[in-house]
Copies of this chain bind each other. A is one copy, B any other.
Amino acid sequence: MTPNVLSNRYAVAVPVTQSDVALRAGVSRALVSLVFRDATNVSDQSRARVLLAAKELGYRPNMLARSLASKKVRTIGVLLNDITNPFFVSMYVELSDAAQDAGYDVLVGPGLRSVAQERTLLGTLLGHRVAGLILISPLIKASELNRIIAGYPAVSIARDMNLDGADFVSNDELVGARLGLRHLVDLGHERIVHISGGSSRSAVHRKRAFLRAMSELGLAGSARVIEGDFTEEAGRSAAREIIRGRADETAIFASNDLVAVGAMGVLEASGVRVPEDVSVLGYDNSVISDLQMISLTSIEQPLRDFGRASIRLLLERIDGERDTRVSLEFEPRLIVRRTTARRATH
Protein backbone atom coordinates (compact mmCIF):
# COMPACT_ATOMS: atom_id res chain seq x y z
CA MET A 1 0.00 0.00 0.00
CA THR A 2 1.50 3.23 -1.10
CA PRO A 3 -1.08 5.86 -0.41
CA ASN A 4 1.02 8.41 -2.20
CA VAL A 5 0.33 6.84 -5.54
CA LEU A 6 -3.11 8.14 -6.29
CA SER A 7 -4.67 7.80 -9.67
CA ASN A 8 -3.75 11.25 -10.78
CA ARG A 9 -5.37 11.07 -14.17
CA TYR A 10 -5.91 14.77 -14.37
CA ALA A 11 -2.78 16.83 -14.19
CA VAL A 12 -3.15 19.99 -12.22
CA ALA A 13 -1.93 23.11 -13.93
CA VAL A 14 1.17 23.86 -11.90
CA PRO A 15 2.05 27.48 -12.34
CA VAL A 16 5.56 27.71 -13.71
CA THR A 17 7.50 30.76 -12.59
CA GLN A 18 10.63 32.48 -13.73
CA SER A 19 12.47 30.92 -10.83
CA ASP A 20 11.58 27.46 -12.03
CA VAL A 21 13.03 28.25 -15.41
CA ALA A 22 16.15 29.78 -13.86
CA LEU A 23 16.68 26.71 -11.74
CA ARG A 24 16.36 24.36 -14.64
CA ALA A 25 18.57 26.42 -16.90
CA GLY A 26 21.13 26.79 -14.14
CA VAL A 27 21.12 30.56 -14.19
CA SER A 28 19.75 33.35 -12.07
CA ARG A 29 16.15 34.47 -12.16
CA ALA A 30 17.00 37.92 -13.44
CA LEU A 31 18.74 36.46 -16.42
CA VAL A 32 15.56 34.72 -17.38
CA SER A 33 13.81 38.05 -17.09
CA LEU A 34 16.36 39.63 -19.39
CA VAL A 35 15.89 36.93 -21.97
CA PHE A 36 12.12 37.34 -21.99
CA ARG A 37 12.40 41.08 -22.32
CA ASP A 38 14.68 40.72 -25.33
CA ALA A 39 17.45 42.54 -23.54
CA THR A 40 20.92 42.73 -25.03
CA ASN A 41 23.97 41.61 -23.14
CA VAL A 42 22.87 38.02 -22.93
CA SER A 43 25.10 35.43 -24.50
CA ASP A 44 23.53 33.34 -27.22
CA GLN A 45 24.37 30.26 -25.25
CA SER A 46 22.59 31.42 -22.11
CA ARG A 47 19.66 32.64 -24.10
CA ALA A 48 19.29 29.30 -25.77
CA ARG A 49 19.47 27.43 -22.51
CA VAL A 50 16.85 29.65 -20.93
CA LEU A 51 14.49 29.36 -23.86
CA LEU A 52 14.91 25.61 -23.90
CA ALA A 53 14.19 25.30 -20.20
CA ALA A 54 11.16 27.55 -20.59
CA LYS A 55 9.82 25.45 -23.40
CA GLU A 56 10.36 22.21 -21.54
CA LEU A 57 8.52 23.55 -18.52
CA GLY A 58 5.82 25.29 -20.53
CA TYR A 59 6.67 28.61 -18.97
CA ARG A 60 4.79 31.73 -20.00
CA PRO A 61 5.47 35.17 -18.52
CA ASN A 62 2.84 36.15 -16.00
CA MET A 63 1.15 39.25 -17.40
CA LEU A 64 -0.17 40.23 -13.99
CA ALA A 65 3.19 40.26 -12.30
CA ARG A 66 4.76 41.87 -15.32
CA SER A 67 2.24 44.70 -15.36
CA LEU A 68 2.56 45.17 -11.66
CA ALA A 69 6.33 45.32 -11.68
CA SER A 70 6.77 47.42 -14.80
CA LYS A 71 3.83 49.66 -13.95
CA LYS A 72 2.88 49.35 -17.58
CA VAL A 73 -0.29 47.56 -18.52
CA ARG A 74 -0.51 46.29 -22.08
CA THR A 75 -4.27 46.01 -22.03
CA ILE A 76 -6.83 48.39 -23.45
CA GLY A 77 -10.37 48.50 -22.14
CA VAL A 78 -13.29 48.73 -24.55
CA LEU A 79 -16.71 49.71 -23.29
CA LEU A 80 -19.47 48.57 -25.62
CA ASN A 81 -22.94 49.91 -24.99
CA ASP A 82 -24.75 47.23 -26.94
CA ILE A 83 -23.05 44.00 -27.84
CA THR A 84 -26.10 42.67 -29.68
CA ASN A 85 -25.74 45.36 -32.31
CA PRO A 86 -23.74 43.85 -35.18
CA PHE A 87 -22.36 47.25 -36.02
CA PHE A 88 -20.67 47.51 -32.64
CA VAL A 89 -19.36 44.00 -32.86
CA SER A 90 -17.68 44.79 -36.15
CA MET A 91 -16.30 47.87 -34.51
CA TYR A 92 -14.82 45.69 -31.81
CA VAL A 93 -13.20 43.40 -34.34
CA GLU A 94 -11.38 46.30 -35.91
CA LEU A 95 -10.32 47.66 -32.56
CA SER A 96 -9.06 44.34 -31.39
CA ASP A 97 -7.12 43.92 -34.58
CA ALA A 98 -5.48 47.32 -34.38
CA ALA A 99 -4.69 46.88 -30.70
CA GLN A 100 -3.02 43.56 -31.29
CA ASP A 101 -0.82 45.08 -33.97
CA ALA A 102 0.31 47.58 -31.37
CA GLY A 103 1.06 44.81 -28.91
CA TYR A 104 -1.91 45.37 -26.68
CA ASP A 105 -4.58 43.05 -25.39
CA VAL A 106 -8.19 44.10 -25.25
CA LEU A 107 -10.57 43.70 -22.36
CA VAL A 108 -14.23 44.18 -23.27
CA GLY A 109 -17.02 45.56 -21.18
CA PRO A 110 -20.02 44.24 -23.09
CA GLY A 111 -23.09 46.27 -22.22
CA LEU A 112 -26.71 45.68 -23.03
CA ARG A 113 -28.02 49.24 -23.13
CA SER A 114 -28.10 49.73 -19.39
CA VAL A 115 -26.52 52.69 -17.65
CA ALA A 116 -26.14 50.85 -14.36
CA GLN A 117 -24.38 48.00 -16.10
CA GLU A 118 -22.07 50.41 -17.84
CA ARG A 119 -21.04 51.83 -14.52
CA THR A 120 -20.17 48.38 -13.23
CA LEU A 121 -18.24 47.53 -16.36
CA LEU A 122 -16.26 50.73 -16.19
CA GLY A 123 -15.38 49.85 -12.62
CA THR A 124 -14.16 46.45 -13.72
CA LEU A 125 -12.04 47.89 -16.50
CA LEU A 126 -10.50 50.47 -14.20
CA GLY A 127 -9.92 47.80 -11.56
CA HIS A 128 -7.84 45.98 -14.15
CA ARG A 129 -5.82 49.15 -14.53
CA VAL A 130 -6.18 49.14 -18.29
CA ALA A 131 -3.78 51.47 -20.03
CA GLY A 132 -6.61 53.35 -21.71
CA LEU A 133 -10.29 53.27 -22.52
CA ILE A 134 -12.24 53.18 -25.72
CA LEU A 135 -15.87 54.08 -25.25
CA ILE A 136 -18.19 52.99 -27.99
CA SER A 137 -21.31 55.09 -27.89
CA PRO A 138 -21.60 55.06 -24.08
CA LEU A 139 -24.86 55.83 -22.33
CA ILE A 140 -23.59 57.31 -19.09
CA LYS A 141 -23.97 61.03 -19.15
CA ALA A 142 -20.89 63.07 -19.89
CA SER A 143 -20.50 64.77 -16.54
CA GLU A 144 -20.46 61.50 -14.64
CA LEU A 145 -18.18 59.88 -17.19
CA ASN A 146 -15.83 62.80 -16.93
CA ARG A 147 -15.59 62.29 -13.22
CA ILE A 148 -15.07 58.54 -13.37
CA ILE A 149 -12.34 58.51 -15.96
CA ALA A 150 -10.73 61.78 -14.95
CA GLY A 151 -7.25 61.95 -16.33
CA TYR A 152 -7.50 58.52 -17.90
CA PRO A 153 -6.49 58.18 -21.56
CA ALA A 154 -9.73 57.69 -23.46
CA VAL A 155 -11.29 57.82 -26.88
CA SER A 156 -14.99 58.04 -27.54
CA ILE A 157 -16.45 56.59 -30.70
CA ALA A 158 -19.75 57.65 -32.25
CA ARG A 159 -20.70 59.85 -29.37
CA ASP A 160 -19.19 63.24 -28.77
CA MET A 161 -19.37 64.15 -25.14
CA ASN A 162 -16.85 66.93 -24.90
CA LEU A 163 -14.75 65.11 -22.40
CA ASP A 164 -11.65 67.13 -21.78
CA GLY A 165 -9.45 64.11 -21.70
CA ALA A 166 -11.18 62.02 -24.32
CA ASP A 167 -10.57 62.17 -28.04
CA PHE A 168 -13.46 61.70 -30.37
CA VAL A 169 -13.86 59.60 -33.49
CA SER A 170 -16.98 59.47 -35.62
CA ASN A 171 -18.36 59.54 -39.07
CA ASP A 172 -19.39 62.80 -40.67
CA GLU A 173 -23.15 62.71 -40.32
CA LEU A 174 -23.77 65.55 -42.72
CA VAL A 175 -21.77 63.88 -45.45
CA GLY A 176 -23.68 60.68 -44.81
CA ALA A 177 -27.02 62.40 -45.07
CA ARG A 178 -25.99 64.19 -48.24
CA LEU A 179 -24.76 60.99 -49.85
CA GLY A 180 -27.99 59.19 -49.12
CA LEU A 181 -30.34 61.99 -50.00
CA ARG A 182 -28.58 62.95 -53.19
CA HIS A 183 -28.85 59.35 -54.25
CA LEU A 184 -32.58 59.38 -53.56
CA VAL A 185 -33.12 62.73 -55.24
CA ASP A 186 -31.20 61.57 -58.28
CA LEU A 187 -33.70 58.74 -58.48
CA GLY A 188 -36.53 61.25 -58.56
CA HIS A 189 -37.61 61.16 -54.93
CA GLU A 190 -38.64 64.32 -53.15
CA ARG A 191 -40.90 63.44 -50.27
CA ILE A 192 -38.58 61.57 -47.92
CA VAL A 193 -39.22 60.44 -44.38
CA HIS A 194 -36.58 59.85 -41.73
CA ILE A 195 -37.16 57.25 -39.02
CA SER A 196 -35.07 58.58 -36.17
CA GLY A 197 -32.96 56.71 -33.68
CA GLY A 198 -34.48 58.39 -30.67
CA SER A 199 -33.21 60.92 -28.21
CA SER A 200 -29.65 59.72 -27.82
CA ARG A 201 -26.98 62.14 -28.86
CA SER A 202 -25.89 60.28 -31.96
CA ALA A 203 -29.49 59.77 -33.04
CA VAL A 204 -30.22 63.46 -32.73
CA HIS A 205 -27.12 64.31 -34.74
CA ARG A 206 -28.25 62.02 -37.50
CA LYS A 207 -31.70 63.52 -37.56
CA ARG A 208 -30.34 67.04 -37.74
CA ALA A 209 -28.02 66.05 -40.53
CA PHE A 210 -31.02 64.67 -42.42
CA LEU A 211 -32.99 67.89 -42.00
CA ARG A 212 -30.07 70.05 -42.94
CA ALA A 213 -29.24 68.04 -46.04
CA MET A 214 -32.88 68.20 -47.09
CA SER A 215 -32.74 71.96 -46.74
CA GLU A 216 -29.62 72.14 -48.83
CA LEU A 217 -31.47 70.26 -51.54
CA GLY A 218 -34.35 72.69 -51.34
CA LEU A 219 -36.63 70.02 -49.94
CA ALA A 220 -37.10 71.31 -46.43
CA GLY A 221 -40.83 71.40 -47.00
CA SER A 222 -41.14 67.76 -47.93
CA ALA A 223 -38.99 66.37 -45.15
CA ARG A 224 -40.69 64.41 -42.44
CA VAL A 225 -39.45 62.71 -39.31
CA ILE A 226 -40.97 59.81 -37.41
CA GLU A 227 -39.42 59.33 -34.01
CA GLY A 228 -38.16 55.86 -33.14
CA ASP A 229 -35.07 54.20 -31.79
CA PHE A 230 -32.34 52.00 -33.18
CA THR A 231 -34.34 48.74 -33.17
CA GLU A 232 -36.16 46.67 -35.73
CA GLU A 233 -39.44 47.22 -33.93
CA ALA A 234 -39.08 50.98 -34.32
CA GLY A 235 -38.84 50.43 -38.05
CA ARG A 236 -41.93 48.27 -38.07
CA SER A 237 -43.89 50.75 -36.03
CA ALA A 238 -42.87 53.64 -38.24
CA ALA A 239 -43.81 51.71 -41.36
CA ARG A 240 -47.27 51.05 -39.95
CA GLU A 241 -47.64 54.74 -39.32
CA ILE A 242 -46.54 55.54 -42.84
CA ILE A 243 -49.03 53.12 -44.32
CA ARG A 244 -51.84 54.15 -42.03
CA GLY A 245 -51.33 57.81 -42.79
CA ARG A 246 -51.48 57.19 -46.51
CA ALA A 247 -48.54 59.51 -46.72
CA ASP A 248 -47.19 60.33 -50.10
CA GLU A 249 -43.57 59.69 -49.16
CA THR A 250 -41.75 57.66 -51.76
CA ALA A 251 -38.52 57.07 -49.86
CA ILE A 252 -37.40 56.22 -46.35
CA PHE A 253 -34.10 57.32 -44.85
CA ALA A 254 -33.70 55.06 -41.82
CA SER A 255 -31.47 55.83 -38.87
CA ASN A 256 -29.82 52.44 -39.17
CA ASP A 257 -30.03 49.13 -40.98
CA LEU A 258 -32.09 47.39 -38.37
CA VAL A 259 -34.73 50.10 -38.54
CA ALA A 260 -34.72 49.90 -42.32
CA VAL A 261 -35.16 46.14 -42.27
CA GLY A 262 -38.02 46.42 -39.81
CA ALA A 263 -39.77 48.94 -42.04
CA MET A 264 -39.26 46.82 -45.13
CA GLY A 265 -40.79 43.82 -43.42
CA VAL A 266 -44.02 45.65 -42.69
CA LEU A 267 -44.14 47.36 -46.05
CA GLU A 268 -43.82 44.14 -48.00
CA ALA A 269 -46.29 42.38 -45.74
CA SER A 270 -48.74 45.17 -46.55
CA GLY A 271 -48.27 44.88 -50.24
CA VAL A 272 -46.05 47.91 -50.60
CA ARG A 273 -43.18 46.84 -52.79
CA VAL A 274 -39.57 47.81 -52.16
CA PRO A 275 -38.13 49.42 -54.20
CA GLU A 276 -40.89 49.63 -56.78
CA ASP A 277 -43.28 51.62 -54.57
CA VAL A 278 -40.95 52.89 -51.88
CA SER A 279 -37.18 53.16 -51.74
CA VAL A 280 -35.48 52.36 -48.44
CA LEU A 281 -32.07 53.49 -47.31
CA GLY A 282 -30.24 52.14 -44.27
CA TYR A 283 -27.27 53.33 -42.26
CA ASP A 284 -24.15 51.45 -41.05
CA ASN A 285 -23.81 48.91 -43.84
CA SER A 286 -23.86 46.20 -41.20
CA VAL A 287 -23.72 42.53 -42.10
CA ILE A 288 -27.47 42.13 -42.43
CA SER A 289 -27.65 44.73 -45.19
CA ASP A 290 -25.43 42.55 -47.31
CA LEU A 291 -27.61 39.45 -47.05
CA GLN A 292 -28.93 38.76 -50.49
CA MET A 293 -32.49 38.51 -49.25
CA ILE A 294 -32.21 42.00 -47.83
CA SER A 295 -29.70 43.66 -50.10
CA LEU A 296 -30.19 47.01 -48.47
CA THR A 297 -28.73 50.20 -49.87
CA SER A 298 -26.87 51.70 -46.94
CA ILE A 299 -24.41 54.30 -45.77
CA GLU A 300 -21.21 52.59 -44.75
CA GLN A 301 -19.36 53.86 -41.73
CA PRO A 302 -15.62 53.35 -42.14
CA LEU A 303 -15.14 50.97 -39.27
CA ARG A 304 -11.60 50.07 -40.06
CA ASP A 305 -10.64 53.72 -40.02
CA PHE A 306 -12.47 54.14 -36.74
CA GLY A 307 -10.58 51.27 -35.19
CA ARG A 308 -7.15 52.25 -36.42
CA ALA A 309 -7.61 55.90 -35.54
CA SER A 310 -8.99 55.19 -32.10
CA ILE A 311 -6.08 53.00 -31.13
CA ARG A 312 -3.61 55.45 -32.56
CA LEU A 313 -5.11 58.38 -30.67
CA LEU A 314 -5.25 56.36 -27.49
CA LEU A 315 -1.64 55.27 -27.74
CA GLU A 316 -0.57 58.86 -28.26
CA ARG A 317 -2.14 59.70 -24.95
CA ILE A 318 -0.88 56.61 -23.19
CA ASP A 319 2.63 57.33 -24.37
CA GLY A 320 2.27 60.90 -23.24
CA GLU A 321 2.88 62.29 -26.69
CA ARG A 322 -0.15 64.50 -26.66
CA ASP A 323 -2.28 66.30 -24.13
CA THR A 324 -4.71 68.16 -26.31
CA ARG A 325 -8.09 66.94 -27.42
CA VAL A 326 -8.52 65.64 -30.95
CA SER A 327 -11.72 65.05 -32.91
CA LEU A 328 -11.69 63.04 -36.10
CA GLU A 329 -14.55 62.65 -38.53
CA PHE A 330 -14.33 60.13 -41.31
CA GLU A 331 -16.35 60.26 -44.47
CA PRO A 332 -18.95 57.55 -44.92
CA ARG A 333 -19.62 55.87 -48.22
CA LEU A 334 -22.80 55.00 -50.08
CA ILE A 335 -23.29 51.33 -50.85
CA VAL A 336 -26.02 50.94 -53.44
CA ARG A 337 -27.92 47.67 -53.42
CA ARG A 338 -31.43 46.78 -54.39
CA THR A 339 -33.75 48.67 -52.05
CA THR A 340 -33.48 51.98 -53.84
CA ALA A 341 -34.82 52.61 -57.34
CA ARG A 342 -36.17 55.32 -59.58
CA ARG A 343 -39.40 56.77 -58.38
CA ALA A 344 -42.39 55.24 -60.04
CA THR A 345 -44.16 57.61 -62.44
CA HIS A 346 -47.81 57.56 -61.55
User: Which positions in A face B, CB cutoff 8 Å?
Assistant: 9-15, 58, 60-65, 67-68, 71, 73, 83-84, 86, 89-90, 92-93, 96, 105-108, 110, 112, 123-124, 126-129, 150-153, 164-165, 232, 236, 261-262, 264-266, 268-269, 287-288, 291-295, 323
Contacts and interface: CB of A to CB of B under 8 A. Distances in A.
A266 B292 contact: yes
B93 A123 contact: no
Contact of A63 (B65, B129, B232): B129
Contact of A89 (B15, B89, B150, B164): B89
**How often does this chain occur in the complex, in copies?**
2
A63 B128 contact: yes
A215 to B, nearest CB: 32
A193 to B, nearest CB: 19
A261 B89 contact: no
Given A83-B93, A288-B288, 15 more contacts: A9-B164, A9-B323, A11-B151, A13-B152, A15-B129, A58-B150, A62-B129, A63-B127, A64-B64, A64-B68, A83-B92, A86-B86, A92-B110, A262-B292, A291-B294
A192 to B, nearest CB: 21
Nearest to A338: B269
A58 B127 CA distance: 11
A11 B165 contact: yes
Contacts of A12: 151
B150 A13 contact: yes
12 contacts: A10-B323, A11-B165, A12-B151, A13-B151, A60-B126, A64-B73, A68-B68, A84-B93, A261-B292, A265-B291, A265-B293, A288-B288
